[in-house]
Structure 1
């Protein structure tokens, strides 16, 4: 992002809008995005981390579409329902195809509180092989 460009993503203090539990989940999720970036485990786009913030109806937090992982902060995470529809009026969009994977896992494994989907160099290399990942036994 150019330093002269004003971001269209919200950067509001999270203490104004969210419960203490959701504030902590937002902080932890933003930290996870930053760590994934720091350790080079993103291919810059189309990777996601989501976390469940509400059981019924199921609500999740995920990154805004188009933001790099090192730009993610607690206040710009987007709450979505199990179908990937935004819950609030944030201007940011989410990648619906990306969230499809997350919602299936979240709904199929209720004990999975957070889901990480990355494209590591090693993983992409194996995926590109005709044989894919071979079993060891």
Structure 2
């Protein structure tokens, strides 16, 4: 029987001073930053992926990990991720700064949506392009059909550094895990990092196909009933079918073949 391939992160012991669950969270998040870099989902030193730490680490307080502001995604490692609380206070003595534009939105979701343990945000060309369209995402391709009833929209209010926008963001999102920030970009949230990644990847692919389709002409719409069926039949978001774990593990193995330094 063939051995099941697992990402290298599961075999890296925690530093003596750190709770093992925090170290595993750091490894998983650092590997995700490297996956984004490999996929080209980067925006210089901007944008964010955040992960809430488990209660076993925080004692029930809401704390999360975020990238050090000033580093490219390809420079993020498990040890240089920054641990902050819901007020943006640095909790691990890190010398790195945190981008307010990342903290405000991510803290809003981590604090306001019980299941938002991971939050991802991108400014990809296809994602921003669709976010700038009046009608947003078109239900016209294989990928958008898998997001039937899952996509929320939030109107553009400028750079997201003002806390007073938070309640409006939550009202716009409701319980929908795929979010199009109008004139801005894409966002996803989920109960696990692999699930959040699977949602964002699907939304990103839907935008890429839409961008290509609309450059050639008007897309063929997918009927509501068919789209609803596609969403029910899609396994990649379903916890009973791994919720994106196998896909994410495969990408981490690709990252390791390029550079395994994220585990430092």
User: TM-score normalised to the size of structure 2?
Assistant: 0.44
Alignment RMSD: 1.9
Question: Is 2:94 aligned against 1:93?
Answer: no
Question: Is 2:130 aligned against 1:126?
Answer: yes
Structure (1 or 2) with the greater helix fraction: 2
Give the secondary-structure state (helix, strand or coil) at the position aligned to 1:103. Answer: helix
Give the secondary-structure state (helix, strand or coil) at the position aligned to 1:75. Answer: coil
Counterpart Cα distance in 2 of 1:43 and 1:111: 27
Report matched runs for 1:1-137 at 5 Å: 15-55=15-55, 56-129=60-133, 131=134, 133=136, 136=139
Counterpart Cα distance in 2 of 1:32 and 1:87: 22
Q: Which has the higher contact order (CA 8 A, sep 6+)?
A: 1
Label 1:135 to 1:108 Cα distance change in 2 as closer, same or farther (>3 A): farther
Count of residue correspondences: 124
Counterpart Cα distance in 2 of 1:33 and 1:17: 24
Q: Which stretches in structure 2 are left out of the alignment for 5+ residues? A: 1-12, 140-223, 225-264
Runs of 4+ in 1 over 4 A off after TM superposition: 134-137
Compare 47-56 and 66-75 and name the one that shifted more: 47-56
Q: How big is each residue's C-alpha offset from its partner over 1:47-73, in whole Å with a ceiling of 9 and x where there is no partner?
A: 101111144221100000010001000
Residue 40 of structure 1: CA displacement?
0.8
Q: Which stretches in structure 1 are left out of the alignment for 5+ residues? A: 1-12
Counterpart Cα distance in 2 of 1:27 and 1:42: 19
Aligned residues of 1:14 and 1:75 also touching (Cα < 8 A): no
Residue 90 of structure 1: CA displacement?
1.2
Query: Looking at CA atoms only, which structure, 1 or 2, has the larger radius of gyration?
Result: 2
Aligned residues of 1:50 and 1:61 also touching (Cα < 8 A): yes
User: TM-score normalised to the size of structure 1?
Assistant: 0.81
